[in-house]
Amino acid sequence: AMATIDYDGKIVGVVGGLGEKTADRSLNRAVDSVRPVGSTMKPIGAYAPAIDMGYINYSTGLPDMPFKKIKDPKTNEERDWPFNYSRTYTETNIPVVHAIEQSLNTIAVWTVDMLGPENAYDFLTNTLNISTLVPADIDHGPMALGSLSYGISPLEMAAAYAMFGNGGVYTTPYCYTTVETAQGDVILEKQVTTVQAISEDTAYIMNRALRTVIASGTAARVGGPSRMDSVGKTGTT
């Protein structure tokens, strides 16, 4: 599934499944289906609001070490949490930009701890209009690592990420403006909301940090040798 929007919030492309379209109003996975978002939650649930509220900046050093001990559900033994993808820790402070580039779970969790899971949840639901979060998601794991009760649709994720290339502006995604009769009478009009979700400075900082993901980080093979300036984030789920 894939959703593409422009910076004005217009939905310009949607792919909701594979193969030929054989039915009307059938399941559109880009709009109707939600999935766990994994590490793609980190920029919108942890880093952007934490930078915007002044808790961290591009080069803040945070500890690459476990946040707490938890009981392993399989063995019932205590283990460190969270794991990094590599299952290792450097036990040193890592700059935020490198944590984003390498998608370190530890740094994202420490960031959400500084920000507060409640503030992260409020930002996602009330500013970015993520509609599928529930109060049970107000915790470090869901807000930092995307381990949500349900998930988020590709369309709502695209709308949230647009602020990183749009000076921090969020716009409700939409696919029409008005529906009119043949005589020009308006019978439906789309209510579009535009807000300054994060400051222009925060958006620029995040944009440059997310560029490292494509240029040399976890998605470097996706970026390849292209001369197009691209930004993005991986999510293992």
Average pLDDT of the residues of the chain: 94
Name 55's Cβ contacts closer than 8 Å, sequence gap at least 6: 111, 114, 115
- pLDDT, residue 224, reads 59
Is pTM beyond 0.75? Reply is: yes
- Say if residue 115's pLDDT is above 90: yes
Percentage of the chain exceeding pLDDT 70? 97
- pLDDT, residue 236, reads 86
- pLDDT, residue 222, reads 67
- Where does the pLDDT of residue 225 fall: very low under 50, low under 70, confident under 90, or very high at 90 and above? low
pLDDT digits 0-9 by tens, 125-139: 999 999 999 999 999
Q: What's the token pair of residue 163?
A: 């602020």
- pLDDT, residue 226, reads 63
- Where does the pLDDT of residue 220 fall: very low under 50, low under 70, confident under 90, or very high at 90 and above? confident
pLDDT digits 0-9 by tens, 80-91: 999 999 999 999
- Say if residue 227's pLDDT is above 80: no
- pLDDT, residue 72, reads 87
Average pLDDT over residues 18-23: 88
Average pLDDT over residues 70-98: 94
pLDDT digits 0-9 by tens, 33-59: 999 999 999 999 999 999 999 999 999
